[in-house]
Amino acid sequence: MIKDIRSLQSSLPPHQEGVESPICVNSGHWLWQAKIATGVVAVLECRSQTKRGGSKSGCFALALKELRFLLRTSIPSTHPDFHSRVEKAKHEVATLQQIELWRSENPNRFRHIISTYGFWENKHYKSPTHQYYKQRFYTLQEAARGDLCDLMEKGYFQNSAHPQRAARQLLSIAHQSLEGLAALHEHGVIHHDIKPDNLLYRKEGKSIQVFIADMDLTDTLETARQRLRQGLCGTPCMIDPEMAKMESLSAVNFLIDSWALGLSLVELSVGVHVPWMHSDSLITVRNIRALNQSTVDSFVSRIPRYITDTEEGKQLIGIIRLLVRVKQSERKTPAEILTMVPAAGPSKPEGHCTLL
């Protein structure tokens, strides 16, 4: 049973009913008024966007004392998997609560995991434009500027004019992500869905601060292994090759996060998604089952020379090669890698981190 963390929440009690009403709509951006606590009304700017794995919806809570991000999961009562999706949302809330308990015991250890300040739900939200109701879950988290997929798609790290800066930033992202995953693994849980889309960031000058987010698949080793009996889960193109074959439950282990992080770092460095990704997830999984090391190495070799020729770039490549071995027996866990490589400078920038 998850312990109560009400004392840790700075803004909201858990599971409080939310009252919301739209203010305006304008090409995908809209404002809401949400009564998120007794006597508190916040103005929220919401955005929805589609990325690998589905869509996400969230809001910046502008009227709170500190800028927060309000993440909303909305489940229509007419959805054929309504009950399972509700249970999945409740599971993520329980996971986030547990992480906050661990953080309270060792705050520095979890500095690269997104902080959560409150949870509540609206069990019977009725849309004015639909006859059915929706069950909504709200999570109030620390605000980030965006996710690393945004930077990748803009070619942010493909800057040959400042190669050392790009290499330094990528190396720092690698170290911070390794630290975050090692903290989760230390407590016996797997993230199970690492990708640039789920690595949030803030900026301080030219430094980038990274936070691992999206915990809906995060679970203990045993539970994750039992889930494999029901089929593969996660973002198809990031699935571990040995897990994709579904030959042994033991293939579900901390090394699947290593694989996904390694691919994420290559994607960020190259500026494109993995070449075996297909619009049909079944074809993607089939491609992964057929992967060999030379195909993966060929993708890694596409990282620009202006990055790999720098000292930071050489360290980055060394980390990536420890992560993206097709055979799990040749791969290293985040904790193992952190003991093998030098630190990449301060993993948390000093001073205030800008969001915009």
User: What SS3 class is residue 152?
Assistant: helix
Structural tokens at position 295: 């195909």
Q: Give the DSSP per-residue string, 236-252.
A: GGG--HHHHTTS-GGG-
Give pLDDT tens digits for 88-111.
Answer: 899 999 999 999 999 999 999 999
User: Tens digit of pLDDT per residue, the chain (356 long)?
Assistant: 233 333 333 333 333 334 343 333 233 333 344 444 433 434 444 444 555 554 455 555 554 556 677 777 888 888 999 999 999 899 999 999 999 999 999 999 999 999 998 888 888 877 777 778 888 888 888 878 889 998 998 999 988 788 889 999 999 999 999 999 999 999 999 999 999 999 999 888 888 999 999 998 999 999 999 988 888 888 999 999 999 999 999 999 999 999 999 999 999 999 999 999 999 999 999 999 999 999 999 999 999 999 999 999 999 999 999 999 999 999 999 999 999 987 654 444 333 333 33
Burial, 343: exposed, middle or buried (Cβ in 10 Å; 0-12, 13-18, 19+)? Answer: exposed
Start and end residues for every CATH 1.10.510.10 domain found in the chain? 146-340
> Could you tell me the pTM of the whole model?
0.82
Under a CB-based contact definition with an 8 Å cutoff, are residues 323 and 256 in contact? no
Distance CA 284, CA 218 (A): 22
Under a CB-based contact definition with an 8 Å cutoff, are residues 31 and 44 in contact? yes
Residue 316 CB contacts under 8 Å (≥ 6 apart), including other chains: 167, 170, 171, 174, 265, 269, 307, 308
CATH 1.10.510.10 fits 146-340, yes or no: yes
Structural tokens at position 209: 């601060």
